[in-house]
Amino acid sequence: MSNDLLENIENGIATLTMNRPQARNAFSQEIMTGLLEKLTAYASDKSIRAVVLTGAGGAFSAGGDVKGFASKADGAAGGYDFNEKVEHLRAKMDVSRILHEMPKPTLAVIPGPAAGAGFSLALACDMRIATETAKMTTAFSKVGLSGDFGGSYFLTKLVGMAKARELYFTGKVLSGKEAEAMGIVNKAVPEEDLAEAAAAMAAELASLPTIAVGFMKKNLNNALHGDLNSVLDWEAIHMISTFDTEDHKGAAKAFVEKRVPEFKGR
C-alpha cells in the first residue's frame, strides 16, 4: 500500500489514515485505490470489528485535488470522453457505499478540515468525532462543482432537506461544535482530547456484538428508504438470525448471572 494511505490494525480495530498532510490529505489515486481495496477486505474479515478513517497532519481531508482540477481546466479538451469520466468517478465513489453498508461500525475521526468529497467520506461513516475547532464544509459551490461521494444523500438524512440545501448552496463552514449541535458529528471535543476520546469510541464499537451491529446497519439503512412492512420483514429475518449467534447466547446467560457480557463477534 502507498504511503498516501497508512494502515494500522490492533485489537480488532482497523485504522486507515489518509497521509498527504502537505495537501491536507486531498485524494490521490493511491488513496482511492487503497481505500477501495482495504475497506472491501475489512467488510468480510471477521477479525475486524470496527473501522476508523482519519487524516494525518491535523486535517481529515480536503477531498478532491483542486490544484489538479485547475491544471486540467487549463489543458486542451482533446480526447474528452464524458461517459468514461463518469464511470471512472462512479467507481471511486464506491468507497462511500462500502463505508455505509459494510457490516462493521465505521468511525470518522476528524482532527481538522474536512471539505468537499473529504466531508462526504466522513458523512458516509456510521459515526463521527471531531475537534471542537475542526472546519467542515461541502465546499463544492466555491469551485463551481455540484458534489460527489454521496454527501448530498448523507447530509440530507442527517439534517433535513432545507438545511442540506443551505449547506450545499452556500458552502458554509461549520466548526466541530456547530456540527455537533446540528447532529452531523456525534461528539466534538477539545483538540488535546481527540486521540483519547476517539480511541475510547473505537474500542467501544469494537467491543459490541459485531454480527448484531451488522444487521442493525442493514435495518437502519433499509429504514432510510423502505416502507414499514419491508422494514418489519427484514427486522424479523435479522432478529431470528442473531438469536443463533454465540454473542446472543453468551449475553443471555450473562444477563441471568448478572455479569457483563463479553462479545466475540461470533
Question: Three-state SS for 166?
Answer: helix
Residue 114 and residue 145 in one domain: yes
Residue 152 and residue 123 in one domain: yes
pLDDT at 49: 96
Residue 160 and residue 41 in one domain: yes
pLDDT at 219: 93
C-alpha distances in Å from residue 74, one per residue of 38, 52, 70, 78, 198: 34, 37, 6, 12, 42
Do residues 67 and 30 make contact, with C-beta atoms less than 8 angstroms apart?
no
183: left (phi over 0), alpha (psi -120 to 50) or beta: left
Domain residues for the domain of 218 are 210-256
Cell of 237: 429475518
pLDDT at 212: 94
Tell me if 187 is assigned to some domain.
yes
Residue 54 and residue 110 in one domain: yes
Tell me if 243 is assigned to some domain.
yes
Residue 201 and residue 220 in one domain: no
Residue 226 and residue 101 in one domain: no
pLDDT at 38: 97
Residue 202 and residue 214 in one domain: no
For 32-64, what is each residue's pLDDT tens digit?
A: 999 999 999 999 999 999 999 999 999 999 998
pLDDT at 126: 97
Listed residue (97, 115, 7, 90) closest to 53, CA to CA: 7
In the block, residue with C-alpha cell 481505500: 35
Tell me if 265 is assigned to some domain.
no
Residue 215 and residue 199 in one domain: no
pLDDT at 207: 95
In the chain, which stretches have pLDDT less than 70? 1, 66-80
- CATH code of the domain containing 102: 3.90.226.10
pLDDT at 75: 55
Residue 112 and residue 224 in one domain: no
Which residues are bridge partners to 150 per DSSP?
none
pLDDT at 188: 98
Residue 71 and residue 181 in one domain: yes
Instruction: Provide the domain count of the chain.
Output: 2
C-alpha distances in Å from residue 36, one per residue of 32, 94, 99, 178: 6, 7, 10, 31
